[in-house]
Structure 1
Amino acid sequence: MSTTEARRGLRRIFPVGDAPDDATIDIIAIHGLGTESPRTWEFKKKQGDGVVNWLSDRDMLPAALPTARIFTYDWNANYFAHAPAQTLLGHADTLLGLIAEGRGSQTRPIIFIASCFGGLILAEAINRAAQEGSTYRRILLSTVGILFLATPFQGSDAAKQARWQVLVGGIMGEQASDQLIKDLEQNHDFVRQRIQKFTEIANAEAVRLPLSCFFETRRTEMLRRVLSPRWAKRLATGSTSKILVTESSACLHGFPRQGLDATHSGMNKFRGPECPNFKLVKDAVKQLAENASAILARRADCKPIISSPATGRRHSQDNASEVPDAANRHWIVPFGRNKQFVGRETFLADLLARILPTADQDDCQRTAIEGLGGVGKTQIALEAAYRIRNAQPDCSVFWVPAVDARAFENAYRAIGQQLKVPGIEKEKADVKGLVKAALSDESVGNWVLIIDNADDMKLLFGDTAVDDHLPFSRKGSILVTTRNHELGLRLVESESCIIPVEEMSRHEALEMLRNNLKADQMINTSSNDALLDFLANLPLAIRQASAYMAKTQISTTKYLNLCTSSDEDTIALLSKDFEDRHRYPNIQNAVATTWLISFEQILDHDPLAADYLRFMCFLAGKDIPYSLLPPAETLKTVEAIGTLKAYGFITQRKGTGTYDIHRLVQISMLSWLARKGEQEEWTAKVLERLADVFPWPEHENREEWMRYLPHAQHALQLWKGADDTEATVRLLHNVGESFYKLGKYEEAEQMIRQGLQLWEKVLGKEHPNTLMSINNLASILVSQGKYKEAEQMHRQGLQLREKVLGKEHPDTLTSINNLGSVLNSQGKYKEAEQMHRQGLQLREKVLGKEHPHTLTSINNLGTVLNSQGKYKEAEQMHRRALQLREKVLGKEHPDTLDSINNLAGVLNSQGKYKEAEQMHRQALQLREKVLGKEHPHTLTSINNVGIMLWNQRRYKEAEQLLRQALQLREKVLGKEHPGTLRTKNNLIRCLRERSQRASFDS
């Protein structure tokens, strides 16, 4: 027997040897055509570095699932010279037999990983295990998940007459069997029927087999299968490279799919634990393993769909939908089962473990499903109802909508009628009291009462006192769905009995979206993900979006463009109603409507919470500080925040006093305010509050204004100029100055220009605040290299300040200083020096010798002296400024860092390169820490360190830093900014000098 033949069969590869068998799950991997184990699972490292086997290496799949047994199934994938397609599928029986022999009576869950043609073998094995009388049904019921890796369910996407030729030839090359290809072509319909059968079994109620399909996204070079790599590379063209198994062939409709950045042969080979492809596959396997117990529990009392080997017709043995009523069993659920329900397996397993009447024989347990409107509470409860019916045929299920008093009483009356409660038909019957008494009688048997949409506090605990009419029986269980945490807590009386519904996982959301759309509507995977991001994986929003796309036949890309084009379009789409047989009739299903119902309830019983929600809809949705909210009594504020959290409109970040609000909730609220005519009023309130709390930005209060900045910016974006109050202008200036300090000059200019226009309109052209705006705008223009306009504005500001405030007013002295700086930037050194000496003299007189503004004048005078070649005096000035700034402002203040940079510059001018380099590096390190890596001043330091290295003829290091500075300055400041052009010129000169030096040395 050859080594290859000895390896065939089922072989455990982890754990190896006589390791103790305490495994909790089995994983079985099946290879594809033209290969064998372990080669097919191995990634070859560089020459001599060995291989990575992701199935057996301890830091790969075994690390993710240490309690798993991992097997490979090897079959003869190379002998198809004369074999028909049925022989390929015949390996299914061998696989089932080996599994059954190896497991005995074991019921441990199984996950299959099937690569390429191995997936066809596995699909056929599932078909055969489901046949009537099959001895392998236990294997089917133990299978908790399958991963298909590029399995060709539809062959290749080549021309029809060559669909299998391209695929088999691309895999096996010269060893490709003409007979196999011919037979697959002739029996393509046979293969397709077997896959269709597999899909039916996987979808059957009693099986519901979780599976994921992975497809390749990189082309295979076909010439490599018949030529040497060298010749294949030479002759390769676009027409000779193909995706062997495309997404449409590798994926089954209605099941999750995921692309891997790999060619066909790389779909089952991963270079290490950090490989992105491996992480995707590993996470999918882990998810299946985590859901295993829930899947097995669901199947415990069900039998699989089976088929007659002779006819292939589908039927069921005690099919779940045909379970006969027990003697005391009643069923009142107003909706059919939602066949498009996806995911939530872990949640449902937890829920069913709690709410079955048999879960607690000493009490009538109460459980609440809680979450934001549209998160899927009703659909989860509906799926739970059907699973209870299947799992416990003797358990009655009663559904009561709590949307209003009439709906509640009508549902109770229907229960009473089915239970044949005496007196229930009388005109003035106490329906709720009679039904409560009937269900409290244990002779009725086991029951689950589902109270859906229990959101109205008045209905539950007000005059109608619905809560007083909930029954108690040790054979009963009550399940409540609510979006109101406070109400849910009052109903179930314990936090431990509340199960919050989180947003769907991306995997579940994508599956839900795919259920309602055609493949060509979801062809752009990036648009699919972006749309689900926008919809926050919210089930109702996904259902509404997919209904609209299905109706209009547009793609996810087009729908996403509609959503993001404007808030008006977004709210219009969110307000579109749609048909859904699994939701209440005569009630709009639109997402926006669902949320506004909750808001009306909040408005009714907690006005402060409603005000806070109005306020928050004008802010950035993430990280909203508690301190931004309008002040109120502490107790009322706590209760209002609690109300918004209870309804799921906001969430609190762990360990912080900040909150997040759903973006779609914000848009819905803004639309509601506009319809009510309240938007302008609330815009003014929000801007006034922000102006009151937003401080003038300084280095010392940086943390505070940085926290408020995104919210002020967002509110100002919503402001449309209707509110020209002083508060709005103050906020514009504070936000503009914040952007200036962050080096975001374009945003700063936009804000300050708006503020200047409003100051002129509200206060007049000569008001001190208007003059301050002129000065600030001119300073921002200087930072952008717009020197002429800046000089003009500084001269205008200086003239008006001297007139209005006087020649020695501190603001006038600021104008003198700033005009001197812009003159220096333009090379007007003599006039600049004169202005700086005048400004320094006056500031020392008016403000004192250690005032920060005085120190700025010393620094600026040193800069203009350096520009004129007066290096000794310049160095003296900069050393003085640095010493005083360290003393007065601290060693990490941005002004202190400016002094370090400027002193280094004058040292460089004198040829003191080592000391200059040391200081420039110090400035760079501190600027990166204090200002950030892309702040314009940090980029100046990068440029200056590069120049220092150049001066020392360290050309390679200099070139690297100058290129970095140029790239970042182009990105941050623009290609035409003077600073960018200076860096570009420095780099050119450095490269030229390096080249000349090299020529000279040679």
Structure 2
Amino acid sequence: MGPHEGTRRNEQPSRPPIEVLYPVTADETARSIEVDIVAVHGLGANVDSSWTYKGGPRTVHWLRDRDMLPAIVPNARIMVYNYESKWQANAPRTRLELCGEELVNSLHSFRKDTRDRPIIFIGHSLGGLVITHALLFADRNEDLKYLPECTVGFAALGTPFRGTTMHRLADLVAWLMTPAGSHKGIVRDLKPDDQHLRDKVHIFCQLRERLAIPVCCLFELLESDYGKKAGLWGGMTRGMVVKEESAHIPGWPRYALQADHFTLNKFSGPDDRSFLTVSERIRVMCADSKNVIRKRQKNVQLDRNESFVGRGAVLDQLLGRIPPSKNRDSCQWTAIEGLGGIGKTQIALMAAFRVHDDYPDCSVFWVPATSATNFENSYREIGRQIAVDGIDKGNADIKTLVKTKLSQESAGDWLLIVDNADDTELLLGDNGIKAYLPSSRRGSILFTTRNHQVTTRLGIQKQGTIAITEMSRAESIDLLAQGLEENQMDDADGTDVLLDFLADLPLAIKQASAYMAEVRISTTKYLELCKASNETMIKLLSKDFEDRGRYEGIRNPIATTWLVSFEQILKSAPLAAEYLRFMCLLAQKAIPASLLPPREDELEVVDAIGTLKAYTFIAEQQERDIFDIHRLVRLAMQNWLREKGEWEEWVTKVIQRLAEEFPYPKHENRGIWMKYLPHAQNVIEYWDDTVDKEAAGELSYNMGEGYHRLGRYQDAEKRNRLTLELRLKVLGKEHPQTLTSMSNLARGLNRQGKYEESGRMHKETMELSEKVLGKEHPETLTSMENLARALTGQRKYKEAEKIYQQTLKILEKVRGKEHSQTLTVMNNLAHMFNEQGKYGEAERICKRTAKIFEEHLGKEHTRTLGSMNNLAYALRNQGKYEEAEKIFRQTLELKEKSLGKNHPSTLGGMNNLARALQSQGRHDEANQVLEERKKRESGE
């Protein structure tokens, strides 16, 4: 299906996946480019020679030569997709699907500044199937589905939509050439009438029909010597490589070319008969591209939602802001923000009708921010409604024209609603939607968004931001009751439980209500069906229902989520199913991709995550590779694991994975363990169900240290007690890890002022460490230090100082005078001197330790801050108030930055600063600091 051309991959220079053939000069590029053309070569072919004719007086590359296709469509940018399609030797282990995914991802990156430009595909042979898979993949991906929506043509040159008779030869050659590196993955689906290929083509036909993509199929009339092209049996294997019935789909335009399969994509010059046929089809596609886009994209028309209930307070707040007459000093911007499916669009829609009813002279315009194309088409409709001059001209700058018109006083009062403003790049990027928003004192703009970052980056003030939460229970009951008889909701408790299950999410409630009204069942029965089995529940939540208050063709998000059953995912995408089972045991929000079970094949991972995103089981946050799992999906999946008997297996897998990835918490890796902590907290609740208690203990241990560093000492105590319990059972009392757990628990008790219990445990730990590890072991020395700190808390200063001095003597011997552990013990000793009133000694020690800590660890490190705080304390108590105040202020600022404003250590730093101010008689300033501390402590 294309000669085996070119050299080995390792002999070729690295080439980009997308290469521009025309235009090639700056002057040509400056022309108005209206369409992108992308050509994809066939099996075993080379990206250069595939489109080049070499049999005449000159070599002709019909995609690049100026008298060929560039002359026919001068306003097109012509590109080729460079992918590896070899299969006979040194072949990549790839598949059609992967080639298609790479194509759309490459185009997505390459066309980042021109993503709304119409695009035409040319595919020779297998290249046509690559294009087919590419468009199908893009249509399933929210970030890429604009590509098929921008596709205005597809010229298929000898594409084997129903496979090829050459498949048997290719399969045989691939088998014979296995020692040379042959791989038949890329030809696997080319068997005539292959079921997988038929399914893909069928789905593509539906996509093509839905988007009305112009397609033309060109097929060969001459036989080919395909054995010779494969390097075998020259002259003995002639025939039609792709027969007419395979090269076109019934109902699609088709054209015959006087060529064999291997010259179907090569033309001798501008007068070549086949070139004239092919180029004319492409010229027509280019000329009609704008009409295709215009017919495809419809202006959004929404009806009043007569079943709208509740949200009275929110509507009152909106109607007090968004009518233009409410503020004649500026064009007021307002944002409704909240979770997807929470009802933002419905609230905005109701507000729009209320403004229309209450202010008849105010025009109300609605534009979706789902894509630049939808936005521009809605602006075109607005332009037509308000009679903007030149709005329908071919070269009209529609967005600028409408912006200019609405920015004029003569446009009158208007309200512009920008719905689904979730994509910050689309909204705020170069040439983004924000640049085309009008501004007039007679205008007002309302945004709906699920992304709070959009609100802040738009500069909308707090008073202009309206956060939408779940419906109140009373509102949920009213919405559920729409269309139901009274006796269908007579079980108040059952109704309440059902609404808990539906998370008071308006779309889920409305869907449930519609189904109950249709089949005439009660809320109690519906709840029983939901609980009966996951299969039944998925079917219920997948039911479509009529909703005239939604966009035409847009289905309920909850229904979209459940269109594909868990069983289908298990069969068709096992890694996606694995990830879903894994993620349901983590926290609902902010799941890092780095926590998922690793795979060597990165494309497999991308495909699995893409599957889950495509079915809306998970959503990617603004930050890349961070995901949320829908609450209903998460709960249902947990139930599914229990019912299938997989609960214990997956609890164990998740605990083991977290134990492996969760690092021992330090200041330096705070960003990592803080990201993992919520997920560890969720799964550790199921530690009774894991068979790997050692992993559970390891995870619990690191969590306890994390809580300790966050100042959450009660949580740390809980985790450390669990860790100690597990390690005592699994490892025994004298195991080093058990001793570490005892030490951590005692340290947390000391932080909470439980000095007696802490002291007893530290003493026991020290004695056991000395016995098991030896007196000079770091863990033994840590136990000695901790015991001394506990004794300090009990005011047993002599005992504490004795242990400190013993510890220092050993540390200086085995670790050195400037080792961080040595300095930490010195710092703790200085703290004790401060407690005893030995301020001069404390000052001397702290100046040394603070200097070394800062040099080695930096100003923001907790050890540096602790040493500086002890120094300031000693200075204050010696009457050196100004010097103490300066250091207290410095440490407070650093603690707020590194630990957070509400960390116990930060709050303690505020106390220290207040006392330093009071010592100088500056009581008003001190009181202000204490008042701020009180607010932070109370959470105000």
**TM-score range normalised by the length of the shorter chain:** 0.3 to 0.5
Larger Rg: 1
TM-score (norm 1): 0.45
TM-score (norm 2): 0.47
